[in-house]
Structure 1
Amino acid sequence: MQINLTGHHVEITESLREYVTTKFSKLERHFDQIHNVHVVLNVEKQQQKAEAKVSLNGAEVFAAAEHADMYHAIDALIDKLDRQVIKHKEKLSKH
């Protein structure tokens, strides 16, 4: 799984990069056919925003989350993506 991490109006520190990679490894436990992940971290006024587009085998999943703390925004983003990836995996197994 390749993770592309970009930041708009925020500096991507090594701790943020490590936090994102450890959180996205949780997604890989549920579904191992994740090819590419593009994560965008953004700051708008007082809100921290995290967005991600995940390229799966045969589909793409997108999610976004906002919070006052960047780490909480990343956690909410991972929860949303986790639900979507599990839903996609169940659709594949039903067919």
Structure 2
Amino acid sequence: MNLKINSHHLEVTPAMRTHLEAGLAKVRKHFDHVLDASAFLIIDNTKEKDLRQTAEITIHLKGKEIFAQAHNADLYHAMDAVVDKLERQVVKHKEKIQDHHHDKHFE
């Protein structure tokens, strides 16, 4: 899986990249058909101090894109929160795909 990281008002460190890659590895455990992912890390000075760090991730799956965004005072917490949101969305998507053929009940 290719991971592309963009940033606004900050420099992406190798530790940030490693943290995101570890989080996305958790997502890949649930669903292996992830083609690529793009992350956008933002520090916005105009917002409230509590929510000025933003992490956005878009995952490209076969036939679908999944997007999540999280705000926090700490960028690492924002990255963890956005990965958790993506995990829930990917599990839901996987369940929809798997249950698609099993919705007919024979009596």
TM-score category of the 2 structures, normalised to the smaller one? over 0.9
- Taking every aligned residue pair, what percent have the same amino acid on both sides? 41
Q: What is the count of residue pairs matched by the alignment?
A: 95
1:5-84 aligned within 5 A: 5-45=5-45, 46=49, 47-84=52-89
More strand by share: 1
Q: RMSD across aligned C-alpha pairs, in angstroms?
A: 0.7
User: For the residues of structure 2 that align with 1:62 and 1:3, how far apart are their CA atoms?
Assistant: 14
Q: With structure 1 as the length reference, what TM-score do the two structures score?
A: 0.97
Q: CA deviation at 1:66?
A: 0.3
* Cα separation, 1, equivalents of 2:90 and 2:63: 12
TM-score by length of 2: 0.86
Q: Which runs of 5+ in 1 are unaligned?
A: none
- Runs (4+) of structure 1 exceeding 6 A deviation are none
Deviations 1:6-61 (A, max 9, x none): 11111001111111111110000000000010100000013100001110122110
